[in-house]
A and B are shown apart, each in its own frame.
Chain A
Amino acid sequence: MTTATASAATATPTGTKMTGAEMVIKAFADQGVAHIFGYPGGAVLPIYDALFLQDQIEHILVRHEQAAVHAAEGYARSSGKVGVVLVTSGPGATNAVTGLADALMDSIPIVCISGQVATHLIGNDAFQECDTVGITRPCTKHNYLVRDVNDLARVLHEAFYVAQNGRPGPVVVDIPKDVQFATGTYVGRENIQHKTYRPKLEAEDAQINAAVEMIASAKKPIFYTGGGVINSGPEASRLLRAFARETGVPVTSTLMGLGAFPASDPQWLGMLGMHGTYEANLAMHDCDVMVCIGARFDDRITGRLDAFAPHSKKIHIDIDPSSINKNVKVDLPIVGDVARVLGAMSRAWAAKGLSTDKAALTAWWAQIDRWRSRQCLAYRASDTIIKPQYAIERLYNAVKDKDVYITTEVGQHQMWAAQFCHFEEPNRWLTSGGLGTMGYGLPAAIGAQKAHPGALVVDIAGEASIQMNMQEMSTAMQFDLPVKVFILNNKYMGMVRQWQELLHGGRYSHSYSEALPDFVKLADAFGGVGIRCDKPADLDAAIQEMISVKRPVIFDCIVDQQENCFPMIPSGRAHNEMILGDMAVDLDEAITDEGKMLV
């Protein structure tokens, strides 16, 4: 769990009178908020006025409200803090909806303040009125319309509490303009106890004992980890590493959990799922005990449900009971926070003096090594054309020893980034997984850069996605945020083209990126730096140049237009219907019968 860092010393005492607008700023300060992402308009002018009169909180002016939310997501995911957004009524709020839906799907803690028309005008189709709580109800964890200034401080503190406790998510607080002007009584965060919301963090001893016994008796165990490990905080990653080492169990992760377990560790199998590695997916398919740790059995993971890990007993650790038994029936559900549960499991493991079946695990690892030897990520190299995989490999090689954060847009480039960047630490990888929002990466990079001013932040982009929130280059310029946009320019909506090639008879309906802008000139127009590279031989030097420039950069990396992203399990298929690239090594007898059906 992440908790905002507010020092009690600076907290404003309960009982102070102030306007609603001032309360918003006070509550932010009391919650330890240093940065907010927003865009002004008529219905939030009082709050902007209060912002103007203080210097504790820095406001980052975006160019589109969707980007404000993504920037706050990048800020939150990279720092473990709550991301804060401020938008106006009507179009400001509706523009924020995509970002809110994204944050809900990926469990990112966000507090979004929206302005609303004055209470007496609500329901009258007033200028820039929309039913913000109605529109955002299904895409927030919770939302509020505050009609009385004396409720405002409590609601604001509750919003922060709800956003970051339990399964994190976005919370909207809609504040009518008259409430912002009205004077009322402020209450501090220490005086707020939420009436109902108490997520369960600790598991029962019986469950912990049953879980460790199951792991100890396993012959082919696997840890299937996910975004919940990151949500739980750095301690969860530490405990995962320790417990994996202690038990010797192989570890895979979803797209959302990358970095929680270090990619350099020999027990790491790579990402699983639709574009996951052969070894991770086969190990999932063949395992006898699966421990799902903060992941939600998404359809990109399970493929065809009735063929998913058919011989396994499943343990599922999740803070949200509704994630359990949603898609896949599990044998041992454990509701609780990853760090607490893993801590308890490690202690029980040690106290009982348990160990895994050494002989069985040796055989299991031998099997996994045979799967690994297929080298499922191998691709055909070229010295005339830049292969997208090669571009990511070289990029990763150039940044891996730096203090680096990587964001992505959505598409093939996102999957290649997941496959070819190797994360050692949590919170370094920011991507839109659940909603799959093109246009996420650049604003998220801006948010991450704001949270980590000295770090290198790279948005691995596609030429199509980047055009969705391109305007945010201007934000990066204004706030001196030297983010790097690394475009894998294949002149196609590559992921769409790939599906059309494989599943729609090669009819490339509207997936060609026609009339592309000149990205180098575009960077220039924004006042940033543009770099283009189309030769493998020039790539390393060009990447070095990108890194050394201390300004926003758009890197237009011209790559092979035809390349497809493999491995791939077509949606709705089973793990043993995986398609591999043509460079993967053939294994004859070395694989199981089930594995043979794979190619």
Chain B
Amino acid sequence: MPEAQERIERHTLSVLVDNEPGVLARVIGLFSGRGYNIDSLTVSEVSAESHLSRITIVTTGTPMVIEQIRNQLDRLVPVHRVQDLTVEGHYLERELAMVKVRGTGEARSEALRLAEAFRARVIDATRESFVFEITGKSDKIDQFAHLMEPLGLVEVARTGVVAISRGPTAL
């Protein structure tokens, strides 16, 4: 195999599906059954009247595997459209996380300062804890959570990545 085909890439895919029972199981079963990676997967209904859901999947693989993933998704019967945002270029990627930190004294104030720097909001507070809400690219959230570790990080809940292309056109 030429080297180019062996290169592992990270791709973000948007998948528009009929919101019918089992559709998520189909997508996940496809990934587990064929041994593809799922780094992140999010799903939610985006149009109630037309019963459409949008799935955002972040995956890694060689270019040949990524092409397979797109084609395999596309041939699932309830799938309307698959878009490889990474291939198509300009797109936005965001993730939301809630980060719980427990501490008092200097650690607590340091946590608050850092939260401000990261534009994280406090959405719950007790005398010994905060829950921060932070939105951004996944690596920003990784970094924030990492910085909170020595300051009393208790737990993190993350939504997974949602993504959309820039400009006026739709999926």
By a beta-carbon cutoff of 8 Å, the part of chain A in contact with chain B is 133-134, 137-138, 141-143, 145, 162, 166-167, 194-197, 305-306, 320-322, 324-326, 329
Contact = CB atoms under 8 A, between A and B. Distances in A.
A14 B74 CA distance: 32
Interface stretch (B63-71, B110-118, B144-152): B63-71
Given A137-B22, A137-B26, A329 B64 contact: yes
B75 to A, nearest CB: 5
B71 A324 contact: yes
Contact of A326 (B33, B68, B79): B68
Ranked nearest first, the 7 interchain pairs of A and B with the lowest CB-CB distance are A322-B71, A142-B77, A321-B71, A322-B72, A196-B80, A197-B77, A138-B33
Interface of B: 1, 5, 18, 21-22, 25-26, 29, 33, 64, 67-68, 71-72, 74-80
Nearest to A143: B22
Contacts of B21: 145
Contact of A320 (B22, B33, B67, B75): B75
Nearest to B76: A142
Contacts of B67: 325
Given A196-B78, A322-B72, 16 more contacts: A134-B25, A137-B25, A137-B26, A143-B22, A145-B21, A167-B75, A194-B77, A196-B18, A196-B80, A305-B1, A306-B1, A321-B71, A321-B74, A322-B68, A326-B64, A329-B64
25 contacts: A133-B22, A137-B26, A137-B29, A138-B29, A138-B33, A141-B77, A142-B76, A142-B77, A143-B22, A145-B21, A166-B75, A167-B75, A194-B77, A196-B18, A196-B77, A196-B80, A197-B77, A305-B1, A320-B71, A320-B75, A322-B68, A322-B71, A322-B75, A324-B71, A329-B5
B75 A325 contact: no
Contacts of A194: 77
A194 B64 CA distance: 30
A557 B64 CA distance: 48
B77 A325 contact: no
Interface centre among B22, B26, B64, B75 (most CB of A within 10 A): B75
Contacts of A142: 76-77
Contacts of B26: 137
A141 B72 CA distance: 11
Nearest to B33: A138
A137 B20 CA distance: 14
Given A137-B26, A138-B29, A322-B68, A195 B74 contact: no
Given A322-B72, A329-B64, A196 B79 contact: yes
B29 to A, nearest CB: 6
Contacts of A162: 77
